[in-house]
Amino acid sequence: MTDTPLWALPATRIAALVRSGAVTATAVAEAALGRLQAANPAINAVVEHRPDDTLAAAAAVDAAVAAGRDPGPLAGVPVTIKVNVDQRGYATTNGLTAQKDLIATSDNPVVAHLLGAGAVPLGRTNTPAFSYRWFTNNRVHGHTYNPRDRALTPGGSSGGAGAATAAGIGAIGHGTDIAGSVRYPAYACGIHGLRPTIGRVAAHNASGRDRTIGGQIMAVSGPLARRVGDLRLALQAMGRAHPRDPWSVAMPLTGPAVPRRAALCLRPDGMETAPELQAELLAAAERLRDAGWQVDEVDALPPIAEAAKVQLTLWLGDGYPAMVAAAEAEGDPGALAALASQRALAESIGQQQFSDALVRRFGIASLWSQFMERYPVVLLPPSAALPFADNLDLKSPEDYQRVWSLQDVQVGLPVTGLPALTLATGLTAAGTPLGIQIVAGKFREDVALEAAEAIEARGWAVTIADPAA
């Protein structure tokens, strides 16, 4: 056993204890519910939870263990699920008052795969309205705060997942990422987050309309956790195909050996990376070298800023008037500001510009694919700046544009289709999270995880934030 509270253990340890019978999933669930009650009121990360459902799921895991059946790789691990994916019996709100009564009648495949692997659902986590922003508040669930510093954003759109996981509410948080919505909350909250390869994790909401093309080819579900090993374990459960997602692909989680060679880029496309983040990247490179990797500092990478423009074109060029109408009906200030600030670009996109963006997506992805042949891992910043002040994007149109200008490495990378991992590497003297971003080849999450584990083992271990302190 251990002197560490059950709720504070990593997922790998919880699963091992439950599988061995050393502790029950019910005991873990009760401890996790206790932590939720203690920590969540200060941060509003989990916006709906049903203790009876949590305990029933834990009891089912215990019954499987008692009967000698395999309870699954996530046996008894408490997980949180974002409110923008279907979970049977719960509202798929996506942060909208208009969807507060949209009750799912089936599980999204990613939820089914998590629960089928023995995970215990702890609660539903918050997102900004429409999951549009890198800040998390809305009119139906309220404001989510960063457990490390209430003055900082918890990130978005998976801000609830990031805040909950950082505060010890669940060992693994489910998130979604089309332009940084897993990676940025992980960075802002001082934990780790993995955006898998497009097609790695099956996902589909039966409760709503099918997504437009930008969402279909760039949005993914991925895990957030306090240990890299927990990301690996979560991917083992989540990384499965499903017939409801025709773009999902059944691929091995581990591929053939690759050269242990990484590229380090401090200022992609000339980005004005904060000095603190450049220092973290240089330190991470030294840790990788200590682990036997060759790390070459490079001045340039394949396109990122251009990729970010392609991403925005494919998002805004497909139904912008309908987005605006929905945001006006919802009346959410964040969504309205986001769409208003992008109006000029959106109104410049015609059929030819949209088609050109689809074509250019192929070219950019090809350049990145070729680059990854030489460098199986790329180290680059998680953002150009330290985590933003909360609601910075609402202070003025200029602040909104500044936020977007600093996030090309979040917005652009999904265009490549490659997996990317945000790794927490420490805190400033003031307690502000620091981190790096790791990119690997297509379906080579295992390579990104290997590099991340090497850096984690030689550097900072994520601490649990106490939002009540």
- What's at 363, amino acid-wise? G
CA gap 287, 274 in Å, rounded = 20
| Residue labelled with tokens 């941060």 | 43
Q: Which is the catalytic residue, given 82, 207, 383, 442?
A: 82
Q: Which is the catalytic residue, given 131, 158, 181, 221?
A: 181
**What count of other Cβ atoms lies within 10 Å of the Cβ of residue 314?**
24
Residue 181 among the catalytic residues: yes
Q: Which is the catalytic residue, given 20, 100, 106, 157?
A: 157
Task: Please work out, in degrees rounded to the nearest 5, the angle formed at the alpha carbon of residue 62 by the alpha carbons of 60 and 65.
Answer: 115
User: Are 117 and 236 contacting, i.e. CB atoms less than 8 angstroms apart?
Assistant: yes
Cα dist. 302→138, 307, 413 in Å? 36, 9, 10
Residue 106 among the catalytic residues: no
Q: Tokens for 412?
A: 């652009």
Chain CA centroid to CA 224, Å:
6
Active site residues: 82, 157, 181
